[in-house]
Chain A
């Protein structure tokens, strides 16, 4: 393991417990996944998100599924998730609202120059407002340019951190701040846009299916490493702004699946599929 996860001799007794745990029982170099949650020290130390927030759960699941946390650099954007990002034990960038895919582009290309023979996974994780509204041009252009980065949207169907405004991902007719008479157009079909824009892998899933989510995160990152851009949309409506009880988040997602408002989907290009198959073959040998 790299030295950056080792405590200098003589300082072990003064290090706070969270760091001793991270060093002795963290996920670096371990190839852990969602199944291992509860058995190791998670990357997210603490967070100030609301009770029942599906983003917090999605973040934990994503972080637990990183194929190489010791070589992953993340890029976030302003929003609820960024409040938790300060507590994440992988290098991460909060830059401006909406420029996350542009920052990730520069970051990825620079890391390629500095570490040409090393894996350096660049993973963007931002809210729906950052991804589909204010940052859409940069999200799409990173796909058009075939940047080898993974883009994950935490879709809670609103601008939650600023007080519950309508976003491009809100459902049509939803009454929210800035849509006082209801949203006038449907939820943006960003997964379709992602397919058309050159993503090698596109997935939509929710934290109500943690194993599937973990599996899809892993695929998205591995494919981005070798094949091309990938996009993952993680759905969990905001309990605070849609005003349902915090314990009902998962139930709400399930109800929406049953009613057809939300569907899990996966799209993979033949090239990405072949790459995964090849990798599986390699694992066996």
Chain B
């Protein structure tokens, strides 16, 4: 098997066409683990890191995708509510990604984000930390690479499936419960004196 990667998944702008982290040998976490900047860590550690990043952000923003925006199957509403609560606790803005159709130049970066040109929304709103939740894996990865290429935004991907190497922090198998754990971590940090950026 491929040797352990030395590639770091860090905020950009990384350049003209940054590689997919997976092709730089960054591996996805196994169940119970998370990925922080290209390194596999226990899930709890990744959760704390997420809480820390959210609290230290100047303009944290959640990008909920179709899988949570639409109440299309059982369990979605609970997850959507948990994500909303976390955003509220952090004081984060919510900008939705309701679908994946290429919209440029019709995009209104003030109120929406699109996976084909996510940088426009990030630049326009000066977003320094963002959270992907409920975005189909393929489109999340496309967007995360473009964000790393052209912006300095710190990316966090809460994935219901297997996670995203192209995010700076990712959790896998994320359910409403997992999101509530992050909310708890944020609350604890706040109680411990950490103030929102």
B-binding residues in A (CB < 8 A): 2-11, 14-16, 19, 46, 86-87
Query: Does more than half of chain A's interface fall in helix, strand or loop, or is it mixed?
Result: loop
B70 sits at the interface (CB 8 A): yes
Known A-B contacts A3-B70, A6-B71, A8-B70; the reply to A16 vs B80 at CB < 8 A is no
CA–CA, A16 and B101, complex, Å: 14
B181 sits at the interface (CB 8 A): no
Residues of B within 8 A of A6 (CB): 70-72
Residues of B within 8 A of A3 (CB): 70-73, 76
- Judging by beta carbons under 8 Å apart, are B96 and A15 in contact? yes
Tell me the nearest residue of chain B to A18, going by C-beta.
B98
Shortest CB distance A267–B (Å)? 37
A-binding residues in B (CB < 8 A): 64, 68-73, 76-77, 80-81, 84, 94-96, 98, 101-102, 106, 108, 111-112
CA–CA, A216 and B78, complex, Å: 44
Tell me the nearest residue of chain A to B78, going by C-beta.
A8
Tell me which of A7, A14, A86 has the highest count of chain B C-beta atoms within 10 A of its own C-beta: A14
Residues of B within 8 A of A86 (CB): 101-102
- Judging by beta carbons under 8 Å apart, are A7 and B70 in contact? yes
Residues of B within 8 A of A87 (CB): 101
Residues of A within 8 A of B69 (CB): 7-8, 11, 15
Shortest CB distance B134–A (Å)? 9
CA–CA, A110 and B116, complex, Å: 30
Shortest CB distance B97–A (Å)? 10
Select which of A2, A15, A19, A46 is within 8 A of B106 by beta carbon: A46
24 A-B residue contacts at CB 8 Å?
A2-B72, A3-B70, A3-B72, A3-B76, A4-B70, A4-B72, A5-B70, A7-B70, A8-B69, A8-B81, A9-B71, A9-B80, A10-B84, A11-B68, A11-B69, A11-B80, A11-B84, A14-B94, A14-B111, A15-B96, A15-B98, A16-B111, A86-B102, A87-B101
Tell me the nearest residue of chain B to A13, going by C-beta.
B94
CA–CA, A245 and B68, complex, Å: 46
- Judging by beta carbons under 8 Å apart, are B96 and A14 in contact? yes
CA–CA, A10 and B95, complex, Å: 12
Shortest CB distance B162–A (Å)? 23
CA–CA, A4 and B66, complex, Å: 9
Shortest CB distance B175–A (Å)? 15
CA–CA, A3 and B76, complex, Å: 10
Nearest 8 pairs between A and B by C-beta? Answer: A8-B80, A10-B84, A4-B72, A6-B71, A3-B71, A3-B72, A86-B101, A8-B71
- Judging by beta carbons under 8 Å apart, are B108 and A7 in contact? no
Known A-B contacts A14-B95, A15-B96; the reply to A8 vs B101 at CB < 8 A is no
CA–CA, A3 and B96, complex, Å: 18
Residues of B within 8 A of A15 (CB): 69, 96, 98
